[in-house]
Amino acid sequence: MGSPPRSSPRLSWRRVLCVLFLPFVSSGFAPPAKYRNNFIFERRKLPPNPRRFDWSHLTPRELKNRSQGIQTEERAGRNPYFTLEGHEFLILGGSVHYFRVPRASWRDRLLKLRACGFNTVTTYVPWNLHEPERGTFDFSGNLDLEAFILLAEEVGLWVILRPGPYICSEMDLGGLPSWLLQDPTSQLRTTNRSFVNAVNKYFDHLIPRVALLQYLQGGPIIAVQVENEYGFFYKDEAYMPYLLQALQQRGIGGLLLTADSTEEVMRGHIKGVLASINMKGFKVDSFKHLYKLQRHKPILIMEFWVGWFDTWGIDHRVMGVNEVEKSVSEFIRYGISFNVYMFHGGTNFGFMNGATSFEKHRGVTTSYDYDAVLTEAGDYTAKYFMLRSLFESILVRPLPPVPSPTPKAVYPSLKLSHYLPLWEALPYLQRPVTSNVPINMENLPINNGNGQSFGFVLYEMTICSGGRLHANAQDEAQVFLNETSLGILTDVYRDIDIPPITECQLLRILVENQGRVNFSWKIQNQRKGLIGPVTLDKIPLNWFTIYSLELKTQFFKKLRSARWRPLGGPSSSPAFHLGTLMAGSSPQDTFLQLLVSECPSTHACPRGVWKGGPRVLSLPHFNQGFQQVSVFLTFHCLRNNTSEHSGKVQTIIIRRQQRCGFSPRPPAPLHFPECGAANGFTCGFTSNCLTHTCHLFTLMGCSIKCILQLPSFPRILFFTRYILYL
């Protein structure tokens, strides 16, 4: 067979065509190769036109005639985009969790969100708070979800609802109720019958409350998210479709979406549902998996992280204003809808905080400040005014005026005057549980069979000899022989030596739940208290008396009739402390200042959880006149030369937790000259752990952690936990 003709007309035409187009292709006429898998960058060599929008008629109160909610459109020559009633619409969302903000402050936070230029508020819905016991639902007071949604509508904001059932959100067990852990066969976040039966009963109460508040029903809800970040968990491929059907069967429609990390979005999405992603900053490559999944849909960043949450023992995490500005500018430039997480973080009231468990178990702090656009106290930040300026640049009409800052007040220090040892408070608790073996917190036969969700649990048993005590305590326990402290147990250190004794004595183990893990597969194994047998020289102990210390309001009311002792000096055992604060006739928000009056001259303090010291304390529920404050203080001091900390700088931790929080960013800097200037909260220590004095200034219960560095000395660990009640 001969070779083809050297000058075939057809072959010549192709060659000429390639030669003619080669200069255009090589000069950048086509999209750069690295951008071809990112649909927002195709056809985007030149900057987009700086469009200005007029959404003044697209607010919940103005938009009366509704035929279609949020839709997606795609036109030649541009990227897909959202529309609302046919008008191009960017979702500019900000997260505010109603359950983390006192109800009296809801309006203030939402007005500030609107004045900043946002058009949407997003919120999670915590199952564990709304159904604390099976079949017992609470949608009142600070948990009045419907009132929050209607208030958002009144202010002029649309709502994206994220009802779970799992929400993560740094909540205890990711927002799942702890009573789900009672059934050993139940598999959380799967189609396991036990789990979905509980979900269905919860949805039967939750969804009817919000279904009539959807867009086409005349309400402000424009979108609903199905579960949360399931792409990482992904234990059951049938689970997400099941939840989608469960929502739709109960009347949820309109725009439905999922939310996952940029890497897990393909595993977490559901067919027919808009996939959204979470990220901390604009990066081209972050969209490649989303593009493969839904190249013909607009982008929604469900969580754009402008900060991060904090855990005990870690420096406060922040994100710079310039970083946020750069990403938001890119979002606007490319027409990307986004939700700022968090606009206002608020507070993990009570014991609702979750925990992380990577290198070790760390409870999330009571403060959920998040380095958000507003501080925990609701004050403005540089991020707020930067975002407001960016939004003004794309809007035709001026934004509403910025609301006035929340007024603050300075109150005198509070001196604790009386105390009640924990052992004398036991009769005021509910009747103890007796058992031949230790029972974990969730399986205690209390609260109508729902177990204990939060707080402490005290185990008492009789021993007649010393030896090596071994116990798996989650998360931390103090061990007492009668009323004498012997040391602590943790999820790492599970052994303590009991000294020789000549007669039978009472062994007490006080266990603290510091928060259940809220993320990863570890949520399945988050039972608290004593887990499994307790042994002494490898022989199991039995016959336990178990006290539940949930520290609920009713318990503190009972303590009013107790015989409190005058506080003449420090107590070396767990005790409740009492003080009175005069707040006057017009109480206002205030600041709590935590300072240390004595510390080694060679080390700066305080240090640790957040550099900068004391935090803000918000008091919208505070009443007129005087307030009584109860403080639960647990104390232990342990020497152990074999500790991993031996020979290193030691850590001293002070923690107080109950019903409100403080901000890592007070409006004025707070100074610690020579670790002195003890005004408000002072704690003094000596290196032998024998001297301890604390005076607490507070109006409502909060959680504070002050970490000091002391010179190295044989394992001395000091821990206090304050539980305040007004």
Residues carrying an active site annotation = 229, 303
Is the Cα dihedral 614, 617, 623, 628 positive or negative?
Answer: negative
DSSP structure string for 351-394: T-B-EEESSSEEEBPSB--TT-SB-TTS-B-HHHHHHHHHHHTT
Q: How far apart are CA 661 and CA 678, in angstroms?
A: 21
Let me know: does 637 contact 485? Beta carbons within 8 Å.
yes
Let me know: does 177 contact 135? Beta carbons within 8 Å.
no
Beta-strand runs (E) in 483-538: 484-490, 495-498, 505-512, 529-530, 535-536
Q: At what angle do helices 145-155 and 106-116 cross, to 10 degrees?
A: 40
Three-state SS for 526? coil
Let me know: does 227 contact 259? Beta carbons within 8 Å.
no
Is the Cα dihedral 616, 622, 625, 630 positive or negative?
Answer: negative
Three-state SS for 569? coil
CB atoms within 10 A of CB 3: 5
Kindly report whether the peptide bond that precedes residue 540 is cis, defined as omega within 30 degrees of 0: no
Let me know: does 297 contact 335? Beta carbons within 8 Å.
no
Q: At what angle do helices 193-211 and 145-155 cross, to 10 degrees?
A: 40
**Residue 368 in tokens:** 């959920």
Q: What is the distance of C-alpha 643 from the center of its chain?
A: 32
SS3 for 658-725 is CCECCCCCCCCCCCCHHHCCCCCEEEEECCCCCCEEEECCCCCCECEEEEEEECCCCCCEEEEEECEE
**Residue 290 in tokens:** 């989303």
DSSP structure string for 123-167: EE--HHHH-SBTTB---SGGG-HHHHHHHHHHHT-EEEEE--S--
Please name which of 651, 97, 595, 655 lies closest in space to residue 364, comparing C-alpha atoms: 655
For the chain, how far is it from start to end, CA to CA, in angstroms? 101
Amino acid in the structure at residue 368:
Y
Phi/psi of residue 171, nearest 5 degrees: -95, 155
Distances (CA, A) of 445 to 524, 546, 547, 641: 21, 11, 11, 40
- Decide the pairing of beta strands 158-162 and 221-225: parallel
**Residue 218 in tokens:** 């005349």
Let me know: does 696 contact 403? Beta carbons within 8 Å.
no
Please name which of 564, 589, 587 lies closest in space to residue 577, comparing C-alpha atoms: 564
Let me know: does 698 contact 654? Beta carbons within 8 Å.
no
Question: What is the DSSP code (8-state) at residue 110?
Answer: H
Q: What is the distance of C-alpha 589 from the center of its chain?
A: 22
Let me know: does 440 contact 598? Beta carbons within 8 Å.
no
Q: Kindly tell me the burial class for residue 579, based on how many C-beta atoms sit within 10 Å of its own C-beta (0-12, 13-18, 19 or more).
A: buried
Please name which of 707, 603, 602, 617 lies closest in space to residue 657, comparing C-alpha atoms: 617
Please name which of 608, 612, 589, 600 lies closest in space to residue 671, comparing C-alpha atoms: 612
Please count the CA atoms within 13 angstroms of the CA of 528 that sit on its side-chain side.
Answer: 32
Cross-strand partners of 673:
none
**Residue 296 in tokens:** 């013909």
Let me know how long the chain is. 726
